[in-house]
Structure 1
Amino acid sequence: MPAPQPLSDLSDDALDWQVLLHSGNASEADRVRYQRWRQLSPAHTEAAREAEALWGDLGQTQAAAQLTAAAPRRRRWGSALAASLVLALVGYGGWQQAPALLADYHTSVGQQQRITLADGSQVLLNSGSALSVDFSDGQRRLMLKAGEALFEPASDPRPFVVEAGGESVQGSGAVFSVRRDGSHNRVVIAKGEAQLGERRLQATADAGALTAWQRGKLIFNGKPLREVLAELERYQHGRIVLSDQQLGAMQVSGVFDLNDPQGLLRTLEQRYALKVTYLPWLAVVY
């Protein structure tokens, strides 16, 4: 007799069903299959009820009520919000599980880790990051599989090379950070110079602000709110969603303390007269 499916897996499956059923692409056959899945066992039924209740609760919040009463553009956003919440719940628990499981070092969301490599080099992993190391007699090679890291290579005749998303940064004589943003990389030179492909990179003018996370700070100077929220999201569990994309253009300046992740949005509320409604794994800014 097969072992019962773990409850956590059932919850994920139930949320997957909600995503499908509310996507606008579900067929009648899909709805029949869902009802059959729902009746497979009492545990399946309970997982389905919890997922349905979570979806239904979205319409009961103040933010959702305001969005429903607003212009059609905002009503469309309300549907996207619901989908965003469920997708966050389904996928966020394992922030990028494959890179983390295959990496030598990794951090969870909101965590940082300092690593001393075999040659004495120092690496600081930022929130939600994964790194693998491959040292040989001829080269010191590191692979940034996800997230962001700050590198301080030790003096050594072997090249110090960081690979990320198909690009290589050689920075034996530099202090630098590499960040993976989807299919793009951002390299910040804090000290010295490095080689990125055919380009030679020197110390970045705003390196202090861009690497302030190593000191537990985030620094913004006239950044659009949408970019600020995207950055804050990297340091806390769940999604942060703007109710109005026009609001996202508002410029934000300030210094935020990463030691108090829950206080980041409260600071924005106080300084910029914003409102935030908190849902499970989701914050709505309006």
Structure 2
Amino acid sequence: MDDTLTSTLELAADWADRFAELTTDERRQLALWLEESPENAAAFARMRRLMSDTALIDAFDKGDAPVQPLAPLPELRAGSSRPARADRRKPMLGRRQAIAAGLAGALALPFAGYWLAGGQTAGSPPPLRFASRVGERRRFTLPDGSGLLLDAASRVAVDFSEGRRHVLLEQGAARFDVRHDPARPFKVRTPHAGMVALGTSFSVDHLAEASELRVFSGRVRLDVADQETRVVPADRWALVHGATVSTGSFDPTTHPDWQSDWLDADAMPLGFAVQRLARYSAAPVRIADPKLASLTFSGRFRLDNPRQSLELIGALFGLRLEKRKDALYLA
């Protein structure tokens, strides 16, 4: 990687790190720098995406990723978009500045031969990953401007290369508020089904043996292996469980499910409920007898108090919540 590109990435990393705290004057300076060249704008956009990857941040927190010190970002002279040298920056970098610096350095090898302006590579770039921790919901803006809301303990991988917008829901649940772009269909996939947004807001829940789609506005095309494609309209849900696809209606204003701290169960299998509540429990949750997982129940239960909800649900079946060495068990 040449020195010019390295410098561009380092500046982009520092701007991205400080973006939320920029003053009005600093934002003007950033705008001037972005207008100087397509390379600047592309580097800044990629740094913003990379720095929202929680897996990378966790790696730096644990010391798993090398961090190289970043040279102080020079301030700009009045009336100029070129940086001028300044000595007022603190010599020690904070955690996120170290991450920004490390990302710039880490890009040196993968981006050899990569032209930032054109976005062309010899091979496909790795996907961006967004994640949330147990008991934590997180909101992100995807590279195309679409909104992403992750349920607790959830993770997605995003591939937004030229001509495509593909999201793999690797774990948990997510809501997508999709920015319309007919040239690049917005696709979400789980191991059980594929969904294509037709201008919409919808959520997808990835369970161990099933996937649930809920459409809040617009329509979503649902593709399931060995079945005819179907279109799910607003205020409808579809559950893909094995070779079976069940559908029904819901009121998104009163039952938005996990987005409002509630588990809304309507003939829900006990196994599905345990998986969803486990996303909010510090201790793993198990069903002592796996045969009980198919039992169904209905009701509303708090997600932010998983232990109490598990006790209430267990009582419906004469089960108790027991704390054992490795997990909480319904037995």
Classify the TM-score, shorter chain.
0.5 to 0.7
Query: For residues 76-109 of structure 1, what are the alpha-carbon distances to aligned partners after superposition, in whole Å with 9 as ceiling and x for unaligned?
Result: xxxxxxxxxxxxxxxxxxxxxxxxx975111223
- Unaligned 5+ segments in structure 1 are 1-100
Task: Work out whether 1:194 is the aligned partner of 2:220.
Answer: yes
Instruction: Quote the residue 2:250 is aligned against.
Output: 206
- How far 1:119 sits from its partner (Å)? 2.7
Cα offset, 1:151, TM superposition: 0.7
User: What CA distance in whole angstroms lies between the structure 1 residues aligned with 2:154 and 2:232?
Assistant: 23
CA drift at 1:264? 1.9
Amino acid at match of 1:206: F
Q: Tell me what 1:178 maps to.
A: 204
User: Are 2:179 and 1:159 aligned?
Assistant: no
Which residue of structure 2 aligns with residue 46 of structure 1? none
Instruction: Map 1:44-123 onto structure 2 (within 5 A).
Output: 104-123=129-148
Partner of 1:147: 172
Distance in 1, matches of 2:289 and 2:209, equals 26
CA contact (8 A) 1:243 1:284 kept: no
Aligned partner of residue 141 in structure 1, secondary structure: strand
2:326 matched to which residue of 1? Answer: 281
| Distance in 2, Cα, partners of 1:147 & 1:130 | 7
- Evaluate the alpha carbon distance shift between residue 245 and residue 122 of structure 1 in structure 2; reply closer, same or farther with a 3 A threshold: same
C-alpha distance in 2, partners of 1:139/1:102?
A: 12
Against the structure 1 CA distance between its residues 281 and 165, is the aligned structure 2 distance closer, same or farther, given a 3 Å change threshold? Answer: same
Q: Check whether the contact 1:228–1:252 (CA below 8 A) recurs between aligned residues.
A: no
Higher helix residue share: 1
**Structure 1 residues 268 and 147 mapped into 2: Cα distance closer, same or farther (>3 Å)?**
closer
SS in 1 for 2:144: coil
* Cα gap change, 1:174 to 1:263, in 2 (>3 Å): same
**Aligned-pair RMSD on alpha carbons?**
3.3
Residue 265 of structure 2: aligned partner: 220
Q: Secondary structure at the match of 1:104?
A: strand
Q: Give the residue type in structure 2 aligned to 1:278.
A: K
Letter in 1 for 2:305: D
Three-state SS of the structure 1 residue aligned to 2:276 is helix
Counterpart for residue 284 of structure 2 = 238
Change (3 A) 1:109 1:161: same
Deviates more, 1:171-180 or 1:160-169: 160-169
What is the Cα deviation at residue 165 of structure 1? 2.8
Q: Distance in 2 between matches of 1:190 and 1:279?
A: 40
TM-fit CA distance, 1:232: 2.4
Which segment drifts farther, 113-122 or 215-224? Answer: 215-224
User: How far 1:257 moved relative to its partner?
Assistant: 1.6
Q: 1:160, CA displacement in angstroms?
A: 1.6
Count of aligned pairs between the two proteins = 185
- How high is the sequence identity, in percent, across the aligned residues? 27
Higher relative CO (Cα under 8 Å, sequence separation at least 6) belongs to 1
SS of aligned partner of 1:267: helix
- 1:103–1:145 contact (8 Å) kept in structure 2: no
Contact 1:177/1:211 (<8 A) preserved: no
Residue segments in structure 2 that go unaligned for 5+ positions in a row: 1-125, 224-228, 237-248
- Structure 2 vs 1, CA of residues 140 and 271 (structure 1 numbering), >3 Å: closer, same or farther? same
Query: Quick one: distance in 1 between partners of 2:293 and 2:189?
Result: 37
Secondary structure class of the residue paired with 2:298 = strand
Structure 1 letter corresponding to 2:171: A
- Residue 258 of structure 2 aligns to a residue whose secondary structure is helix
Hey, what's the Cα distance between the residues in 1 that align with 2:289 and 2:193? 36
Q: CA deviation at 1:193?
A: 0.8
CA distance in 1, matches of 2:222, 2:268: 26
Over 3 Å counting, the alpha-carbon distance change for 1:195 and 1:216 in structure 2 is: same
Following the alignment from structure 2 to structure 1, what is the Cα–Cα distance between the partners of residues 209 and 271?
Answer: 19
Question: Matches of 2:323 and 2:258 in 1, distance apart?
Answer: 25
Residue of structure 1 equivalent to 2:122: none
Deviation at 1:188, TM superposition (A): 2.2
